Amino acid sequence: MYLEEIKNKLGEILGVAALDFVYPPQIEMGELSLPLFALAKSRGLNPVNLAQELSQKLNNDINLKQYIIEVRAVGPYLNFYLQTESLLAGVINDIQVNGNNFGQQDNGSNNGVMVEYSNANTHKEYHIGHLRNLFYGDSVTKILNFCNYHAIPVSYINDFGIHVAKTLWAFQKGQNKFHYQELSKSVQDKGYLLGQCYADANRELTESPEKKDEIVAIMKEIESRNGVNYKLWEDTRAWSIAYFDAIYKHFNIQFEHIFYESEVIDDGLRLVQEFLNKGIFKKSQGAIIADLEKYDLGVLPIVRSDGTALYPVADLALAKKKFNDYKIEESIYVVDIRQGLYFKQLAKIFELAGEKTRISHLGYDFVALKSGMMSSRSGNVITYNQVWEEAYARAEKEVASRHEDWTEIQIKETANSLAIAALKFEMLKVSADKVITFDIDEALRFEGYTAAYLQYSGARLASILRKGASNVKKADLSLLSHVKEKSLAVFLERFADSVLKAGEQKDPAVISRYLFELAQQFNDYYHEVPVLKAEANLVLARLALLQAIQQVFKNGFSLLGINYLEEM
C-alpha cells in the first residue's frame, strides 16, 4: 500500500510505528497526522515543542521531498501534506496491480479458524433473526479469509432437541387441520408449517402443562431411533434441511460442512460419562450437571432427570470433533449474546478436562420488530418467507418503474440482487453489539445509508466508465490536481485500514461504513467535477481514478456478500 510505505519510512525516521499515524478530519489539514503525546513522554519533552522541532527536521530532509510537500506542527501534532502527483499515481497503480486482492491483510498468518453460524433448529421457522446470524457469520468468514486466516464456514443444526418432540406432538394432533394439509406442499411451506406446529405446541403446553409427559415420551422414542415418531422425525427433518438449503442457495452462502446434533449426540453421551468419572460433572436429583459455582460460572445442566440430553451434550462432542478433525486453532461461535455465559461454561469444562480447545463466542444482539422482540414460541416473528416476498415485490416494482424498456428477466434478476443486498446490508451495517429494529421501508430506500444507495452509486460509476475510453493504464495521472481527487486517493488507501479493523473486531459494519463514505465522496466528486467534459488526456486520467474507485467498491461489496450491479 502506498500510504503504508510512507508511514513506514516516516516511522523509521521518527522511531514510531506505522499504526501511530492517523488521518486528519479534513483534507485541508493534510493527508496524514502523527499525535506526539506518547513519543514526547518517552523522551521527557513537551509534545508541542517536539512537534516544532520535528517539523523543521523533516522539512529539511531531501529524501522525503518526492513524497511530502510540507510537514506542519499543529499543537502536539505533526501534519503531513503529500505530493499530489506521487500520491495519486501510487494509489491508482497499487489498485490496478492488486485488483481483487487490493486491501488484503496478512495478520491472520494462515491460522485455521472455524466459524460456526446459522445454527437453526429443524422443526422451527426460519425468521429474520436467523438472517442476521446467517449474513453476519458469512461476512465475518469472508473478512477473515481476506485477512489471510484459513476460515472454515460451518453450520450446526439442532435436529434432536426437545423442540422436535413438541413440534411432532402438535403436528400429529393437527394433521386433520385444513391449513396443515395445505401448507405441506412446497419446501418453503413445509418449513413454515413446522414453525406453526412448534408455536401451537408451546401455546397448548402453557395452558395444559400436564401434557409435558407426552412430549417426553416422544423425545425418548426419537432418541431410541425406532418407532413411528422416529420415522416421522426422519421425514420432517428432511423438510427442514431442504428448506435451509434453499435459503443458503438463494443468498449464495456456502458451508464447508454442516453438522447435526443427531450425528454427535452418542459421542456426547460417552463424553458425559467420561467427565462424570473424572468428577467434572456430577449427579444432582437424578440429573447430571456441571457445578461451576466456584468459578463464578453458575451451574450448567447437562442431562435432565428424565434421562433426555440437553444441548451441551452434543456441543461438547462437536467441539472436540472440530479440533481433532480439522486441526484448527480456534472455534468461533456466532450465537446471540444471551449465550455468553454458556460458552464460558463450555470453555471452563474443557479447561478442567485438560483439553486444548480455544472457544470464542461472537455474540450479536437481537432483531426486534416495531411491536417488540420476536419469539418462535409465540409465533410473533417475521418469517423468512414473509420478509423475502415483501422485499422482492418492492424491489421489482422499483426496477420496473425505472426501466420500461427492460425485459422481464432483466427486471427480475436486478430486483433479486437489490432485495438480497437490502436484507444483508440492514443486518451488517449495525455493529453486532447493537439491537436492530427492522424496518422494511428503511431497508429498501434508494437514498441514505442503504444497500440501494451503494449499488446505485456503483451503477452510476459503471455507466460513466462505459462512456469513456477503456485503456486507462496509459493515463497521465500527473494531470489529476483537483482537491477532491487527492482526497479520494487517500480514502481509497484507507480501505486496507478498514479491512484490518473489520478483521480484528470481526465487525462487517466497519466495511459497511467505509463503503457508504466512499459512495458519498464519489457522488460529491461526480457532481462537482466534469469527468467526461474535459481535454482528452485529463478525461483518461479521471477515468483511471473512477476505475480504481470501482475496484474498491467491488472488493468491499464482496466482503459483505453483495452483488455489484453494472446497471439498475
Q: What is the pLDDT of residues 451-468, one digit of tens each?
A: 999 999 999 999 999 998
269 within some domain? no
Contact 35, 20 (CB under 8 A): yes
Name 28's Cβ contacts closer than 8 Å, sequence gap at least 6: none
| Domain span including residue 334 | 117-263+314-373
Residue 334 lies in a domain: yes
- Does residue 440 fall inside a structural domain? yes
Look up the CATH number of the domain holding residue 400: 1.10.730.10
Report, as an integer, the average pLDDT of 210-216: 92
- Please state, in angstroms and as integers, the Cα–Cα distance from residue 334 to each residue in 68, 117, 340, following that order: 45, 5, 11
Assign residue 330 the CATH number of its domain: 3.40.50.620
- Quick one: 180 and 323 in the same domain? yes
Predicted pLDDT of residue 556: 98
Kindly state whether residues 179 and 36 are assigned to the same domain: no
Q: What is the CATH number of the domain that holds 45?
A: 3.30.1360.70
240 burial level (CB within 10 Å; 0-12, 13-18, 19+): buried
Report the number of distinct structural domains present in the chain. Answer: 3
One domain for residues 14 and 35: yes
Pick the range with the lowest mean pLDDT from 54-63, 357-366, 469-478, 527-536: 469-478
Q: Rounded distance, CA 447 to CA 456, Å?
A: 9
pLDDT 10s digits, 400-432: 999 999 999 999 999 999 999 999 999 999 999
pLDDT, the chain, mean:
92
The answer on pLDDT for 176 being more than 50 is: no
Whether 523 and 550 share a structural domain? yes
Same domain, 178 and 233: yes
Q: Rounded to an integer, what distance in angstroms lies between the CA atom of residue 74 and that of residue 209?
A: 72
Cα separations in angstroms, 455 against 460, 489, 553:
9, 21, 9
Mean pLDDT of 355-370: 88
Rounded to an integer, the average pLDDT of 6-11 is: 95
Instruction: Identify the DSSP state of 332.
Output: E
104-131: per-residue pLDDT in tens?
Answer: 999 999 999 999 999 999 998 888 889 9
26 shares its domain with 130: no
Task: Name the nearest CA neighbour of 144 among 513, 433, 507, 430.
Answer: 507
The pLDDT score that the predictor gives to residue 175 is 58
222 and 336 in a single domain? The answer is yes
Per DSSP, which regions of 285-427 are E strands?
287-291, 299-303, 330-334, 359-362, 367-369, 372-373
Please tell me whether residues 411 and 536 are part of one structural domain: yes
Taking only Cα atoms into account, the Rg of the chain, rounded to an integer number of angstroms, comes to 28
Per-residue model confidence as pLDDT tens digits over 319-354: 999 999 999 999 999 999 999 999 999 999 999 999
Instruction: Tell me if 509 is assigned to some domain.
Output: yes
The answer to whether residues 206 and 65 belong to one domain is no
Q: What is the C-alpha to C-alpha distance for residues 92 and 99, in angstroms, rounded to an integer?
A: 10
Domain co-membership, 245 together with 342: yes
pLDDT of 159 reads: 93
Confidence of residue 276 (pLDDT cuts 50, 70, 90): very high
Determine the pLDDT at residue 382.
77
> Are 397 and 365 members of one domain?
no
Mean pLDDT (whole number) for 225-230: 94
Looking at the fold, whether 342 and 210 belong to one and the same domain comes out as yes
